[in-house]
């Protein structure tokens, strides 16, 4: 066993293969009762030694809908104190080590820090203090109400980062060298944190994996809340929602957000441009200087869309008519399908549409973010994960890179997406690049410039490609 002294009390963790692990440490009070739909409140101090050997409760959420439930396990741990975090740290010595803080994805309505794929042991083995956290999800974390603060889930993340600043020295971490990293909704959250004046000084580098810098104005973001209110037969206010049992809220949330995907569109949850936590759109942050001085590593996977298009069979249900209708609806150039087909001559219409949608919603906004930072303080590095999974027709799909970044290819969760023979050498290279970036700001390749260098992690190992598929990308300028 091992112990650490935080500002609110002593915690007892465990030692696992030479790494000290603390799980379920509260960083804010349980968001229940009068604290429901309110900004995170300080956690009460405790006497004695608090056990921190098991994961804490997860935020209220519905399971993933089929078929994603079979590919993305999502542990559900009951309890009210869902605002908790975990720490993996190397054996103690005199050094203050780089800190990496993981923000999970899940469309802001799924996920938790208890997913086995996110185990931080390998980071601690390699000299980094790894922190992962839970935050409020769905309407509890991202509902839009006239009588409650917006972006509660983001405010939770801010509270966790404040905890890291105030407590991480006790775990061997350096509060002056903190890197936030996240995937999908976690990356979108990081884009919001980069924009928020409230997060200034809480982290020094950032990694955005497969998540775009997006946010919505309040009226647009409130549509999901309003739809839920109609289903429940209550006013669309925090006071009314707070009187509804969490299980009924989750049922209404499932109804309001069913159908569609993050790429094809449906009602969901988003960061909100509220004029306080998020004063402007994250895509405009570089021009306003909000990201100045922050080193940034960002990128995407070659076949992001296949996580939603392949297991559901959607790719086979899309014909030429649907492809052309989507081209017009997305205001894409009429030549776009032909440009994409030139490098995919045998691809069905569904694959062409998936590639186009991925670029419009994800890849192009990330590249614009890199372009907008060029010449400003802070380096930018771009990657692409291109190793194709042998599972079904997933290819290099959304979320596949996570097991490589965490060096957790041995887990059963990783096998669901990557199979049981994924290349360990590629995982080692990607994992070490993330550690190098967090430690000193250089992952090992050329920073973004006019030649557009992209480190591509593919079947032939890591290699730099300049301006990959640039003709396709320019369609979305």
Task: Name 26's Cβ contacts closer than 8 Å, sequence gap at least 6.
Answer: 8, 43, 56, 81, 83, 84
**341-353 CB burial, b ≥16 within 10 A, e <16:** beeeeeebbbbbb
Contact at 8 Å (CB) between 92 and 28? no
Report the C-alpha gap between 362 and 367 in whole angstroms: 9
Instruction: Bin 100: left if φ > 0, else alpha if -120 < ψ < 50, else beta.
Output: beta
Closest residue by Cα to residue 269 from 196, 210, 185: 185
Candidates 104, 270, 398, 431; catalytic one: 398
* Residue 247 buriedness (CB in 10 A; 0-12 / 13-18 / 19+): exposed
Nearest to 178 by CA among 133, 128, 136: 128
Q: Which of 184, 189, 210, 300 is catalytic?
A: 184
Partner residues linked to 353 by β-bridges: none
Using CA atoms, how far residue 37 sits from 34, 85, 145, in Å, is 8, 20, 9
Active site residue 398: yes
Is beta strand 2-6 parallel, antiparallel or unpaired with respect to 9-16?
antiparallel
Q: Has 184 been annotated as catalytic?
A: yes
312 in catalytic set: no
Catalytic residue among 140, 304, 351, 384: 304
Catalytic residues: 184, 304, 398
């Amino acid at each position: 066993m091992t112990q650490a002294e935080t500002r609110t009390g002593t915690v007892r963790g465990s030692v696992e293969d030479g790494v000290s692990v603390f799980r379920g440490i509260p960083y804010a009070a349980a968001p229940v009762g009068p604290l429901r739909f309110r900004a995170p409140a300080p956690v009460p101090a405790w006497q004695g030694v608090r056990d921190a050997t098991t994961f804490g409760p997860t935020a209220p959420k519905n399971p993933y809908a089929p078929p994603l439930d079979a590919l993305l396990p999502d542990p559900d741990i009951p309890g009210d104190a869902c605002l908790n975090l975990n720490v993996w740290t190397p054996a103690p010595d005199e050094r203050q080590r780089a800190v990496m803080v993981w923000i999970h994805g899940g469309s802001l309505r799924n996920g938790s820090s208890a997913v086995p794929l996110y185990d931080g042991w390998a980071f601690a083995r390699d000299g980094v203090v790894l922190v992962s956290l839970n935050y409020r999800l769905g309407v509890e974390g991202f509902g839009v109400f006239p009588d409650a603060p917006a972006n509660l889930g983001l405010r939770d993340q801010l509270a966790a980062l404040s905890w890291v600043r105030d407590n991480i020295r006790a775990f061997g971490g350096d509060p002056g060298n903190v890197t936030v990293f996240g995937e999908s909704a976690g990356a979108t959250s990081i884009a919001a944190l980069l924009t928020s004046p409230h997060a200034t000084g809480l982290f020094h580098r950032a990694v955005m994996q497969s998540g775009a810098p997006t946010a919505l104005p309040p009226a647009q973001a409130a549509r999901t809340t309003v739809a839920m209110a109609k289903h429940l037969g209550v006013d669309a206010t925090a006071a009314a929602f707070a009187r509804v049992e969490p299980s009924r809220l989750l049922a209404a949330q499932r109804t309001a957000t069913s159908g569609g995907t993050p790429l094809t569109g449906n009602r969901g949850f988003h960061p909100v441009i509220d004029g306080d936590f998020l004063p402007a759109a994250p895509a405009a942050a570089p021009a306003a200087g909000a990201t100045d001085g922050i080193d940034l590593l960002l990128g995407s996977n070659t076949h992001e869309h296949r996580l939603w298009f392949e297991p559901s069979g959607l790719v086979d249900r899309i014909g030429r008519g649907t492809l052309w209708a989507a081209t017009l609806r997305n205001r894409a150039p009429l030549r776009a399908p032909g440009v994409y087909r030139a490098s995919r001559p045998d691809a069905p219409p569904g694959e062409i549409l998936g590639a186009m949608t991925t670029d419009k919603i994800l890849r192009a906004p990330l590249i614009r973010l890199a372009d907008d930072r060029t010449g400003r303080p802070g380096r930018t590095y771009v990657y692409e994960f291109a190793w194709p999974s042998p599972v079904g027709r997933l290819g290099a799909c959304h979320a596949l890179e996570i097991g490589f970044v965490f060096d957790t290819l041995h887990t059963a969760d990783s096998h669901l997406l990557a199979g049981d023979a994924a290349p360990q050498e590629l995982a080692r290279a990607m994992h070490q690049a993330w550690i190098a970036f967090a430690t000193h700001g250089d992952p090992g390749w050329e920073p973004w410039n006019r030649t557009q260098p992209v480190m591509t992690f593919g079947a032939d190992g890591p290699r730099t490609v300049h301006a990959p598929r640039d003709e396709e990308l320019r369609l979305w300028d």
